[in-house]
Structure 1
C-alpha cells in the first residue's frame, strides 16, 4: 500500500513528500490511526488501489483530521463533522485504472459508511501544481459552475493560503480537473471554499464534501445495496 502510494504520488505525478524517497514508501503520522481500504489483484495479492479513511471519533482519539492541518474545519457544522468520514491518499496503480477498480473502491467506501453509520465524505482533491494562478482559475470555474457549498465556507489555515483576497488570475476557458476530482463532483460533492497550497506535498488542495443523503435512488442502490 505505502509502496503503491509512493509509486503513484512521487514517481508518476511528481508530488508527494521528499522524505519518501529514503524509504520508497509514502507514509505519514496519520497512517497508523486510520483504516485503509485495499483492492488486491488476483492471483498474487498485490495491492493495486487504496483509500485512507477515518471517522471523527478516530481523529479525536489521535492526531485529528489530516485535512485540519490545511483547512479550518471549525467552519463546518458540528453535525456534519460528527456524521463524516474523512478520506484521502486515494490512488490506483496505472495498469489498473479502469471503471471496475474505481467502482470497487467506491463500493468499499459505501460499506464503510454503513458500518460506521456515517452520512458524509470529505477530504482533499488535488492539483499537481504550485501555481496560485492555476488554483484561482480552477476556483473561478467551480464558482461559475455552482460547484461550491453556499451555506458555509471553510478557509485555508494560515500558511496554507493559496492566493490573497482580491487576487485575479488570467481567464482560462479550458479548465481541466483531475479525474477523481471530477467524479466526486459528478456524484454531488461540492467544494467547501478556497484552496490551500501544500508546499510539502507539492499540490494545491480543495476541500470537498459529499452528502450521500443527496444521492438519487439509482446511485444510492448502485453503491449501498
Structure 2
C-alpha cells in the first residue's frame, strides 16, 4: 500500500535457496470454506479484477491518492503486479464471469522474483535487503496489498486467505514472511499507545532486526511504558497487525508515513519456524490438502 520503489540492482544474496521446481498452477484451489475458494489468479483479466477490488478499497473507501491512469481505469496498479502472484478470494455462489466473483486479494512477491525486478516493494520504506542478507539460507516472501470488499470482511474470509498463504508457503518452502502493515492516517502520534507498545514489546531483535530507511524514519516509541495499557493498545491496532502478532510476528524499528495512501506503516517480520503449532494445525489441516 505504498509507492513503488525505484529500480536498482539487488545483491546476489537476495536469491537465497531455490524453491520447489513446480510452480503452483494458477487457478488450482488452495483452500475452501463454504461457497468461497482461495486460489491464484489465472490470467491478466483476473489480475485486473483484483486491481479493481484494490481500487475500490484503497482509493474509493480509504481515500488513497491515485495516478491519472489509475483513475481512468479505476484500478490500483504498479509495476510489481507483473512479477507477483495474486491470491484471490472467489465467491462461487455469484452468477456471471469468473473474474467478477473476486471479493478479496493478497499480493505475494517471492524472493527470486524480487531479485529479478531489482528488489522488494517495501525496500523504499524499510531496509529489507539487509535483513535478507543476514539469512541466506532462508527464502523470503513479501505480502502486500491485502484487501477484502466490505460485505466479505468476516473471520472466515480472513481464515481462507491464510489457508491460501499457508499452502503457498509450504509449496515454495518459504522461511520468512515480511511486508508492510498500516495504521490509518499520517500522524504517528494519533496511534501513540499502539505504536509505543509495538516498539517496547514486539520489536524484532538481533539477526531479525530491520529498520525504516533513514530518510523516512519516524520514531514509534512515543509513550513511557508505565503509561501504556496493553489491552487498549492492542484493541487500537488494525486487524491485520493483530493477526500477524498472534502468529508470532515481530515489528521493525521505526515507522514510515505514506502520504499517497494516507497511512503510517510498520514492518512485519514473521519467521515461519516461530509460528505456533496451534495455528499451523488450524490452517494446515485444510490448506495442506491443496498444496502440491
The TM-score, its normalising length taken from structure 1, stands at: 0.88
Name which of 111, 136, 142 aligns with 2:167: 111
| 1:40 alignment counterpart | 90
Name which of 41, 47, 56 aligns with 2:111: 56
Which stretch of the first structure deviates more once superposed, 15-24 or 205-214?
A: 15-24
| 2:59 alignment counterpart | 10
| 2:79 alignment counterpart | 29
1:30 alignment partner, SS class: helix
The alpha-carbon distance between structure 1 residues 77 and 24, as it changes in their structure 2 partners (threshold 3 A), is closer
The reply on whether 1:217 has 2:285 as its aligned counterpart is no
| 2:129 alignment counterpart | 74
Alpha-carbon displacement from aligned partner over 1:123-162 (angstroms, at most 9, x marks no partner) = 0110111113235543211134x21112243222244223
5+ residue gaps, structure 2: 1-49, 286-292
CA distance in 2 between counterparts of 1:74 and 1:39 reads 30
The TM-score, its normalising length taken from structure 2, stands at: 0.69
Q: Point out the structure with the larger helix share.
A: 2
Look at both structures and tell me which one has the larger radius of gyration over its CA atoms. 2
Aligned residues of 1:126 and 1:206 also touching (Cα < 8 A): yes
Aligned-residue CA RMSD (Å): 2.3
Alpha-carbon displacement from aligned partner over 1:5-28 (angstroms, at most 9, x marks no partner) = 011111112235354333211111
Alpha-carbon displacement from aligned partner over 1:143-188 (angstroms, at most 9, x marks no partner) = 34x211122432222442235x9x8569675440111111111111
1:52 alignment partner, SS class: strand
The number of residue pairs the alignment matches comes to 222
Deviation at 1:107, TM superposition (A): 0.5
